[in-house]
Amino acid sequence: MSKLSARVSSLREARIAYPGDPGPTLDAALAELSTADELLATALVELRKAPRRGGNGRDGGSQREQKLMRQIFRAFPVPVIIMDSGGVVRRINAETSRMLNSPAGYLIGRPFPLLVDVARRAAFRSHLSAVQQRGEATSFQTRLSHQGRAHTVQLALTRLSMPGEPQEMIAVVALPIEVQLPERPAGRVELSDAALLMASARRKELLARMARLLLDEESLRQPVALARAARLLTTETADWVVMDIVRDGIPQRATVLGPSDQPVGEQVRLLERMDPASAPAIAQVLSQRSGLVQEMIEDETVFGTAPDGTPVLRAMNAGSLLCAPIQTDDGAQGVVTLVRLGEREPFNLADLGLMEEIGAHLGLALRAQRAFQTRSEAVVALRTSVVPTSLPDIPGFEAAAIYHTGSGSAAVGAEFYDVFPVKDGWGFALGGACGRGEEAAAVSALVRNGLRVLGAWESDPGEAIRKVNQALLLQGSGMFVMALSGYVRAEDRGRRIRLASAGHHPAALLQPDGGVRFATGGGVPLGIDDAAEMSTEELTLVPGETLVFYSDGVVASRDDQGEPYGEDRLTDVLARCASQSPATLVKAIEEDRSAFSGGRFYDEIVILALRVV
């Protein structure tokens, strides 16, 4: 019609422009008139096909009847559900929403069999199929579960045809048998502000408890974070918790916990043996890096199937499912899956948001745990480089030692000690870099290993220390090291010990009668000056005498008033331990120091005792 109007307008313009030659314009106008006749005829046919909109006659009566039936359907005091042939809910009345405690329209578009108890779902599908095929109404008893409520009902199913629907429908009438609900207004029942605040507070409290649990040192030191998190979740929000972790690109099952009040041992073992990659829900969460929640289980196979073909969720009697990624900035590192049983209130979007946040916490905890373990391995390697795993047997001597880093098991100490073979006998060394952490430990390891290596050629500990000092200065670390070394010649059977000191505390000599005297000690620490002087001396010992070496952390420990432990108190402890074994002696010193300082460590503790036998 628009094109026709445009052409007629052009013809008018041609008639005005060329009044002396109307023939061609007239012929064209007749042709356009024929086109208009055809358009009108087509429109008339379509109009005759359309129903009349008059307010009287059979059509008007039919519309009034349909409105009346819709009103009766909505107000009918018995739950009524209309399903299509696939069992999907198409219409429900207000009484159904009230009975199931469901918001108006919430169930429309969802499979009705999901409301049926898992154990009776197969029987329901058989009844539904029979009604569809034979067209005969049927009635049977079953159990419906939704929004945490369970109802034993008598269901009546019948096939019907509805105007405007291309396929036959199924009408379901549900008559409650065991449960009589109190009267409630139809439609959605809104939670009060106080209830919403309480629900939000509970979620925040769960998140806070999870954070405290994951930040605990035990969760970092041992691979227990997932198991502890699963226990908390089963206690607070879920019946089943399953944790899957990606290792080398493959998801692997890590933790499975079920209801503690039910005999689910066989189901737990079944879930533990299953391949997480076979579960569509797990694969979806890992690929999309976002969680999913099914308030009603729409596909029972979404979490995998047992070897006999039974869907796992059916075996678990699952009513609601939630999966959230365990992820970091590097991607999804795993999936945490929560399941609630059919009689419990289902998960919702707020629960999904909470679990996605917890999943992020778990991802960070796993990354921190891996970093902690990697650092712990480095700590062990560095500690091995500064402390021997055991003391060798030294002819003519009995030896014992104590070593504490001063800051927990994961700390890297800068103090070192060692006992090692030298050119003509045995050597020992003690010392530490002035600093803490990996760099200081590396410098201490350099000094310790340098003294050990040079002992194979040098017969004088002072010369060995001098060469280590030169090597340290060449490294340019900027750190200085207090060190002490001593050699015992094998031919002397431990009677004579040659000592060399570079700024270290003097050794204490404990005599059998309880007397204590100190060696010279002193000297300039390593790493300060190439021409620095070392303090050297030679001691002659008799059987029963004990030579005690100690780090600065022993005498520098302080009590509550800030007073140092000092060498005077050390002397008193040594005097009380005369004639004791080296093992007993070093233990007594450390126990006294710990009691003095209230168990606090101010620096690394090293005590080495050598007793002439």
Domain with residue 144: its CATH number is 3.30.450.20
Residue 234 and residue 350 in one domain: yes
CA distances, 426 to each of 285, 489, 537 (Å):
63, 7, 17
User: 103 vs 213, which has greater pLDDT?
Assistant: 213
Residue 412 is predicted with a pLDDT of 58
User: Would you state the structure tokens that stand for residue 163, as one six-digit string?
Assistant: 């105007």
Residue 150 and residue 41 in one domain: no
Residue 377, CB half-sphere, CA atoms under 13 Å: how many? Answer: 5
Residue 397 and residue 350 in one domain: no
Residue 112 and residue 20 in one domain: no
> Domain for residue 467, yes or no?
yes
∠ CA 248-249-254, rounded to 5°: 75
Nearest to 274 by CA among 301, 236, 235: 301
Total number of domains constituting the chain? 4
Residue 61 is predicted with a pLDDT of 64
**How far apart are alpha carbons 137 and 143 in whole angstroms?**
19
> Domain for residue 191, yes or no?
no
CB of 582 closer than 8 Å to CB of 399: yes
User: 230 vs 166, which has greater pLDDT?
Assistant: 230
> Domain for residue 182, yes or no?
no
> Domain for residue 79, yes or no?
yes
What is the rounded average pLDDT for all residues in the chain? 83
> Domain for residue 465, yes or no?
yes
pTM over 0.75: no
∠ CA 230-235-240, rounded to 5°: 55
Residue 161 and residue 202 in one domain: no
User: Which segment of 142-156, 298-312, 319-333, 441-455 scores lowest on mean pLDDT?
Assistant: 142-156
CATH number at residue 368: 3.30.450.40
549 CB contacts (<8 Å, ≥6 apart)?
A: 417, 428, 430, 484, 507, 606, 607, 608, 609
CB of 321 closer than 8 Å to CB of 313: yes
User: Taking the C-alpha atoms of 60, 62, 65 and 67 in order, what is their torsion angle to the nearest 10 degrees?
Assistant: -70
Mean pLDDT of the 173-190 span? 57
| Complete DSSP assignment for 420-481 | EEETTEEEEEEEEESS-HHHHHHHHHHHHHHHHHHTTT-S-HHHHHHHHHHHHHHHT----E
**How far apart are alpha carbons 175 and 226 in whole angstroms?**
45
Could you list the residue range(s) of the whole structural domain that residue 165 is in? 74-176
Residue 90 and residue 130 in one domain: yes
**How far apart are alpha carbons 593 and 596 in whole angstroms?**
5
Residue 302 and residue 342 in one domain: yes
> Domain for residue 157, yes or no?
yes
183-237 pLDDT, tens per residue? 444 444 455 667 777 878 888 889 888 888 887 776 666 678 888 899 999 999 9
Mean pLDDT of the 399-406 span? 86
Which of 148, 176, 204 is the endpoint of a domain? Answer: 176
**How far apart are alpha carbons 195 and 551 in whole angstroms?**
62
**How far apart are alpha carbons 220 and 367 in whole angstroms?**
10
Which of 141, 176, 211 is the endpoint of a domain? Answer: 176
**How far apart are alpha carbons 553 and 600 in whole angstroms?**
11
Give residue 181's pLDDT band: very low, low, confident or very high (50, 70, 90). Answer: very low
Residue 186 is predicted with a pLDDT of 41
Which range, 37-41, 75-79, 473-477, 506-510, is most confident? 506-510
Give residue 354's pLDDT band: very low, low, confident or very high (50, 70, 90). Answer: very high
Which range, 119-123, 316-320, 561-565, is most confident? 561-565
Mean pLDDT of the 403-408 span? 70
Residue 201 and residue 172 in one domain: no
CATH number at residue 571: 3.60.40.10
| pLDDT tops 80 at residue 5 | no
59 CB contacts (<8 Å, ≥6 apart)?
A: 51, 52, 53
Give residue 126's pLDDT band: very low, low, confident or very high (50, 70, 90). Answer: confident
Residue 359 and residue 396 in one domain: no
Nearest to 444 by CA among 532, 533, 504: 504
Q: Residue with structure tokens 């916990």?
A: 257
Residue 472 and residue 523 in one domain: yes
